[in-house]
Chains A and B, each alone.
Chain A
Amino acid sequence: MPLADVVSAEALVESGGEGGSRVAFAHLALGREPDAVVAPGSIEEVVALLAWAESNSVGVIPVGTGTHLEDRRPAGPYVVLSTERLSGVEIYEPADLTLTAKSGTRVGDLARVAEEHRQWLPFDPMDVPNRTLGGLASAGVTGPLWAGYGHLRNHVLGMTVVCGDGRVLRLGGRVVKNVAGFDLIKPMVGSRGRLAVITSLTVRLFPLPAVDKVLLLEGAEASSLLPAARAMATAPILPASVVLSDSRDGGSTLLVRLHGARETVDADQRTLESHAGVLFAVAEGSQATELLTATRDAGADAAIRLCLRALPSQLGALLHVARGPMAGMNEELMADVIEGSARLAWSGATTDAALVIEELRSGAESLGGTVTVDRCPVGMDPAALSSRLSADAREIGEGVRRIFDPGGVLL
């Protein structure tokens, strides 16, 4: 049966049509054209598409905005399932601080809705306003604000998903505390679309802080800011986020966000300054916004992006590792000081990229850490370049995958 008989005409997306840019990006990341791009408008259409795919031995790759597709190298026929038509807020009860939205809803759109009620989603991964809520959950990324608010995975309260074989599951619910059954949301968050297609999600919102104070410390290079950065991670108060950024030509910056009432953030600033033995500048208004956005989105267009992680106390050694093989590569480095991670992005020469990544990985692993490659050029395999999962984690993870997608439809 042809695909056109299974889904509506509106669901069949032309590459150059509505949402074309997203699709184009998907093509780029996936290395070759999909056999079709389908944007289902309902759960039923998702179910129909997956059933069709399974019976025709066609793979399916769910796509939000296509930020994390670099590891897909479909060998056989495949379809891109775009969630762009699964969009919109379904339930928003501000007094409950919970919001249910379809998975293709842009986070920026949700932020605007929540802001009307002085609420927000405290997640700040790269390019967050343009990404979809489902894509964010699927990628399992939170951003440096996890330090003050916890990870996204702890704030996804419920999900409706369609398994690879078409089963529809409602996981979790709409309440903030819920232990009715095993927590299948946790493996879903961060599963990169390999377990099931997320069609809607309920997330916990937070009250917007009265003041978002951005503290700034500048230095010639990251190493000069390292003692102050580390002091942020051992201070008696926990900032909302702490990011140490460094670029070859732009110098280094330590950005610390403090959230709360005016008198609280002022007192917290004094506590941090006395603990670190430094005096911060305070970034205000548009300067603060620009700094935060620039740090958050640094490397968004880079050809290669990866993340090195170790214990927070190893940050200095990790930065040393990160800088080692990078000479002359004009890279950006953003370290999440509380997490003990460093994101690296570079757009320059990629000829020796595999060798460079291998050196980075071996350095991070010698510190007991890991490297995760988020983006690399077509032709390189990010899974092979990243730190490997243990055999046990692979085996159990494969078992979990089989119960969601027994036919292996989701690539």
Chain B
Amino acid sequence: MSQVTSPMSLESRVTPVPRALVLELREIVGEKHVITDPDRLLVYESDGLSAYRVVPRAVVLPASTDEVARVVQVLHTAGIEVVPRGAGTGLSGGALATEHGVVVGTARMNQILEIDAENRLARLQPGVINARLTEATKSFGLYYAPDPSSQSACTLGGNVAENSGGPHCLKYGVTTRYVTGLTVVLAGGRVVRLEGGAGEPYAALDLVGLFVGSEGCFGIATEIEVRLLPMTEGVRTLLGIFDTMEAAGRAVTAIMASGLMPAAMEIVDQATIRAVEASVFAAGYPVDAGAALVVEFDGTEAGLDADADKAETCCFAEGAREVQRATDAAHREALWRGRKKAFGAMGRIAPDLLVQDATVPRTKLPEVLVRIAEIGEQYALEIANVFHAGDGNLHPNILFDRNDADQLERVERASKEIMQLCVDVGGTITGEHGVGIDKRDYMPLVHNETELEMLRSAKRVFDPDELFNPGKVIPDPVVEP
């Protein structure tokens, strides 16, 4: 991570797109959908990871596959890089503009094109907000399973680019499991329909699966087909309060080992509990608790109480101080509040927050959390942990002040040590936020140069001139002196 600040005026930080090109783009998408005014461009200077800031040369907002194709054709013909952007909620700087690039945003491509309830499929544009899809399909008794924490703001196009997860992915899996087809705009404006995976014609490679999670480096998905699930009949939510994080971690392992399949299992640590309880989001979690564990089961009403009883027994057996069970929807919301509002609450106690993301084998959680606390102490940083415990997906959140250069450097070093730690125990550097710009330099921790070169080659299959989201995901090759 490195902070990008500049004393230069806004105008001098932006290299304008030639006027003739702007006119050409406006011809395609309409006058007001090509943004070149530096003040308005400022909105697009970062995504959810605000430590990185680059003001794009221009932002273009097309409304259809055809418009995207023509815009990309114009830009690529002029040799201009294209940075795709959804709602900009990403936490790895994946939608960060490049100095020479133009951002192509999907905000206007927000139509749900078809809900095929009979076949439990939906076809939509990439700018549709995740939560809106479930809202639209609810009346058919259906919903869209992947539920990233930002689901009220993030777009399906962004979810496809990042292969987003979410709390309930423990049981239901991440975005890639639900995408059945894609229409994409590739280099030069070529429109391609990708198929693959299940239901493929003979000898098809799963190109949909390859495109999902490509972080805007292959092209722009302009139509997305997804599978929907029948809504579950019932839900049971438990909140276990533990004196120590270790005991909460053991309870997670015990629940999984007992054969239960919770829909979600989330842990917040003491630092997070305190931040939440000191905020307007106070959820009633005891502030002296070492950790709080939210466990949720969903499915057929008939079996849920038995599942919840079994999980409760596991929690007490591992030393839970108390276990609450939601009695109604409002109570459920309250039990979840400490988890869901954690990031918002942390914003109140430090000017900046680095939301880290890594995955470790579930059984390594207790030892990794101890080590993360030690790393925090070593660098005199406050680290608050909120994580998807069921699948070992950690979010150590480092609280800091970007204006403190020394602290910023310590954040960077602590982050790298945490990543190395997760890799050392058999984990990886990102579970759901993507590599983007933030984790790019950590990629050699998990991939050797041969593997990195393979990723570069994979990009070039889709984007031979490397004009889509350059500089993301893969570090530059090491050049021998």
Contacts and interface: CB of A to CB of B under 8 A. Distances in A.
19 contacts: A95-B253, A98-B361, A153-B206, A173-B427, A175-B427, A175-B431, A181-B447, A182-B473, A187-B210, A206-B261, A236-B233, A264-B299, A267-B300, A267-B301, A372-B201, A372-B202, A396-B461, A400-B205, A400-B458
A220 to B, nearest CB: 27
A122 B200 CA distance: 21
A173 B426 contact: yes
Interface string B201-236: 111111111101110011000000000011101000
A176 B362 CA distance: 9
Contacts of B474: 181
Contacts of A185: 209
A390 B193 contact: yes
B426 A175 contact: yes
B430 interface: yes
Contacts of B162: 179
Interface stretch (B13-21, B37-45, B48-56, B385-393): B385-393
A189 interface: yes
Given A96-B361, A181-B447, A388-B201, 7 more contacts: A96-B363, A178-B359, A179-B435, A181-B443, A186-B197, A187-B196, A403-B458
B428 A173 contact: yes
Interface string A69-94: 00100000000000000000000011
Interface in B171-204: 173-174, 176-177, 192-204
Interface in B449-481: 450-451, 454-455, 457-462, 473-474
A373 B203 CA distance: 10
Contact of A339 (B163, B199, B261, B443): B199
Contact of B202 (A176, A206, A386): A386
A264 B233 CA distance: 11
B123 interface: no
Interface string A267-287: 110010000000000000000
A112 interface: no
B70 to A, nearest CB: 18
B210 A177 contact: no
B446 interface: yes
Contacts of A150: 173, 177
Nearest to A146: B198
A260 B428 contact: no
A118 to B, nearest CB: 6
Interface of B: 116, 118-121, 141, 162-163, 165, 169, 173-174, 176-177, 192-210, 212-214, 217-218, 229-231, 233, 253, 256-257, 259-261, 299-303, 306-307, 359-363, 388, 391-393, 426-435, 439, 443, 446-447, 450-451, 454-455, 457-462, 473-474
A190 B230 contact: no
Contact of B200 (A167, A190, A396, A399): A190
A169 B448 CA distance: 9
A146 B180 CA distance: 14
B202 A382 contact: yes
Given A183-B163, A183-B209, A175 B361 contact: yes
B359 A186 contact: no
A236 B141 contact: yes
Interface of A: 71, 93-98, 118, 140, 142, 146, 150-151, 153-154, 167-171, 173-187, 189-192, 194-195, 206-208, 210, 234-238, 260-261, 263-264, 266-268, 271, 309, 311-313, 339-341, 370, 372-373, 382-383, 386-390, 392-393, 396-397, 399-403
A237 B194 CA distance: 30
B303 A71 contact: no
A263 B201 CA distance: 40
Nearest to B258: A207
B463 to A, nearest CB: 11
A377 B174 CA distance: 40
B297 to A, nearest CB: 10
A309 B205 CA distance: 17
Nearest to A195: B205
Contacts of A387: 201-202
Contacts of A194: 203
B53 to A, nearest CB: 23
Contacts of A180: 428-430, 435, 439, 443, 446-447
Nearest to B451: A169
Most chain B CB atoms below 10 A, which of A93, A179, A184, A235: A179
A186 B176 contact: yes
Nearest to B177: A154
A177 B205 contact: no
Contacts of B204: 190, 389, 393, 397
A386 B199 CA distance: 13
Contacts of A373: 202
A182 B452 CA distance: 10
Of residues B198, B231, B388, B455, which shows the largest number of chain A Cβ atoms within 10 Å of its Cβ? B198
A177 B199 contact: no
A153 B230 contact: no
